[in-house]
C-alpha cells in the first residue's frame, strides 16, 4: 500500500461542512459569515504521550479528543481538523482501528477530516482543529476577576491512577482499573459544557497537565491569585482506592484529565448550574479567585495546606 492509497483508504471521507476536503493541495473551509475561527494543535508522540503497545483505536480517539478539548475550553464549536501522521510502516492492521477510533470521535462532534500529511517515521500524530465562535464569545484564560468562583467539571485524577498502575507504581483492582483506564485512554472532550458556558464563564482552560498548572495559566493571564478548598477538591475523586495515600496530589496535579477549569462571578451560580445541566456535565465549585497573586490551598477548617504539587512540564529541569 503506497502513501496515496493509504490516505484514500483510511483518511478520505466526503465533507459536508468544508468546500474542499482531502485530495488537493489545500482544503477550503467556509466559516459562517462574521464568525471567528478557533485554531489549536496538539501532538502525540510515542513514548511521551502513549505506550508503544497502545490500542490503535483508543489512540485515534484520544488524538482527536485532546485537540477538541482545547476547542471546548474556548467555547468554540468544532468544524474540521487536519492530521499530520508519521508512521513506521503502512500497517493495515494498525491503520484500520486507528482511523475508526479517530473518525468515530470526529463524527460524535461533527468535526470533519479535511487534510493532513503522511510520512514514514517514528509514530507521531499531530492534529490541528478548527472551530468557530462568535466575536467576543470565546472563553479566554485572561478573564478571571477577584471574587469569581472557581469550578471544575467531572472528576480528576483517574487517568493518573491508570498511568501509575501501568507503570507498576500501584495496583488497582479490576473494576477501578477499567474505569480509570477508560479515563486515560478515551477522554471525552467537554464540548457541550464549553458551548453552554459562553457568556457565563469569565475564564476557562482545559486540564491536560494537571489542575494546579492549568489553573495557574488562568491566574497568570488574568493577573490574579486563587484559594482552593482542598476538602472540596478531594471530592473530585469520589472512588479513590482506599489504599491511595496521595488522592489530593492526583486530583491537583495528576494530568491527562481533559476536564474544564473555569471561573464565573458568584452572581452566575444559577446560570453555571443550568449550563452544567443542559450539557449533562457535573461541575463542582472548589475555590475563589483572589486579587493577591499566588495559589493558596486551604483545608475545610481554613488552615493553609502546603502546596508541594507540581504539574507536568515537558522541559522541567
- Residues at the interface with ligand ADP (CB under 6 A): 7, 11, 22-25, 83, 85, 113, 115-118
* Residue 25 binding: pick among Mg ion, ligand ADP, none (C-beta 5-8 Å cut-off by kind): ligand ADP
For 148, the grid coordinates are: 469569581
Q: Least distance (Å) from ligand ADP to the CB of residue 105?
A: 14
* Residue 159 binding: pick among Mg ion, ligand ADP, none (C-beta 5-8 Å cut-off by kind): none
Q: Least distance (Å) from Mg ion to the CB of residue 115?
A: 9
For 104, the grid coordinates are: 468515530
C-alpha closest to that of 101 among 90, 89, 113:
113
Q: Least distance (Å) from Mg ion to the CB of residue 117?
A: 5
Select 23 or 294, whichever has its Cβ closest to ligand ADP: 23
Q: Please, which residues have CB within 8 angstroms of residue 50's CB and are 6 or more apart in sequence? A: 44, 59, 62
Q: Least distance (Å) from ligand ADP to the CB of residue 87?
A: 9
Select 116 or 143, whichever has its Cβ closest to Mg ion: 116
Segment contacting Mg ion by CB under 5 A, of 111-119, 162-170, 202-210, 241-249: 111-119
The answer to whether the CB of 259 falls within 8 A of the CB of 251 is no
C-alpha closest to that of 71 among 243, 234, 195, 218:
195
The Cα–Cα gap between 229 and 24 comes to 53
Q: Least distance (Å) from ligand ADP to the CB of residue 106?
A: 11
Q: Least distance (Å) from ligand ADP to the CB of residue 18?
A: 11
Segment contacting Mg ion by CB under 5 A, of 112-120, 190-198, 249-257, 307-315: 112-120
Residue 117 near Mg ion by CB under 5 A: yes
* Residue 11 binding: pick among ligand ADP, Mg ion, none (C-beta 5-8 Å cut-off by kind): ligand ADP
The size of the interface with Mg ion (CB under 5 A), counted in residues, is 1
Segment contacting Mg ion by CB under 5 A, of 12-20, 117-125, 201-209, 210-218: 117-125
Q: Least distance (Å) from ligand ADP to the CB of residue 3?
A: 7
Select 85 or 248, whichever has its Cβ closest to ligand ADP: 85
Select 90 or 182, whichever has its Cβ closest to ligand ADP: 90
Select 45 or 232, whichever has its Cβ closest to ligand ADP: 45
* Residue 172 binding: pick among ligand ADP, Mg ion, none (C-beta 5-8 Å cut-off by kind): none
Own/partner contacts of 292-297, CB < 8 Å, gap of 24 or more, are 292/225, 293/219, 293/223, 293/224, 293/225, 294/225, 295/212, 295/215, 295/216, 295/219, 295/225, 295/226, 295/227, 295/228, 296/225, 296/226, 296/227, 296/228, 297/227, 297/228, 297/230, 297/233, 297/252
Lay out the site mask for Mg ion across 59-98 (x = CB under 5 A, - = otherwise).
Answer: ----------------------------------------
Q: Least distance (Å) from Mg ion to the CB of residue 145?
A: 46
The residues that touch Mg ion, with contacts defined as CB under 5 A, are 117
Amino acid at each position: 500500500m503506497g502513501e496515496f492509497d493509504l490516505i484514500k483508504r483510511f483518511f478520505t471521507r466526503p465533507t459536508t461542512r468544508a468546500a474542499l476536503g482531502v485530495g488537493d493541495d489545500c482544503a477550503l473551509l467556509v466559516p459562517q459569515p462574521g464568525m471567528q475561527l478557533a485554531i489549536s494543535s496538539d501532538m502525540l508522540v510515542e513514548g511521551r504521550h502513549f505506550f508503544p503497545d497502545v490500542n490503535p483505536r483508543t489512540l485515534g480517539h484520544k488524538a482527536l479528543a485532546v485537540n477538541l478539548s482545547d476547542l471546548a475550553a474556548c467555547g468554540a464549536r468544532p468544524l474540521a481538523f487536519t492530521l499530520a501522521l508519521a508512521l513506521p510502516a503502512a500497517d493495515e492492521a494498525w491503520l484500520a482501528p486507528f482511523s475508526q477510533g479517530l473518525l468515530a470521535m470526529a463524527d460524535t462532534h461533527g468535526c470533519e477530516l479535511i487534510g493532513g500529511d503522511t510520512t514514514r517515521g517514528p509514530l507521531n500524530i499531530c492534529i490541528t482543529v478548527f472551530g468557530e465562535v462568535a466575536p467576543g464569545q470565546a472563553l479566554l484564560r485572561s478573564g478571571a476577576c477577584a471574587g469569581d468562583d472557581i469550578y471544575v467539571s467531572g472528576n480528576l485524577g483517574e487517568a493518573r491512577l491508570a498511568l501509575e498502575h501501568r507503570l507498576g507504581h500501584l495496583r488497582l483492582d479490576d473494576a477501578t482499573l477499567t474505569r480509570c483506564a477508560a479515563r486515560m485512554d478515551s477522554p471525552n472532550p467537554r464540548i457541550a459544557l464549553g458551548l453552554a458556558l459562553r457568556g457565563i464563564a469569565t475564564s476557562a482552560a482545559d486540564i491536560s497537565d494537571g489542575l494546579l498548572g492549568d489553573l495557574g495559566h488562568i491566574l497568570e493571564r488574568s493577573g490574579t491569585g486563587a484559594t482552593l478548598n482542598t476538602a472540596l477538591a478531594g471530592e473530585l475523586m469520589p472512588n479513590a482506592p482506599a489504599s491511595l495515600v496521595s488522592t489530593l496530589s492526583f486530583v491537583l496535579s495528576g494530568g491527562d484529565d481533559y476536564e474544564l477549569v473555569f471561573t464565573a462571578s458568584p452572581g452566575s451560580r444559577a446560570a453555571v448550574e443550568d449550563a452544567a445541566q443542559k450539557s449533562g456535565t457535573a461541575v463542582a465549585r472548589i475555590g475563589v479567585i483572589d486579587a493577591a497573586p499566588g495559589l493558596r490551598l486551604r483545608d475545610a477548617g481554613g488552615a493553609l495546606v502546603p502546596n508541594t504539587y507540581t504539574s507536568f512540564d515537558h522541559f522541567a529541569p
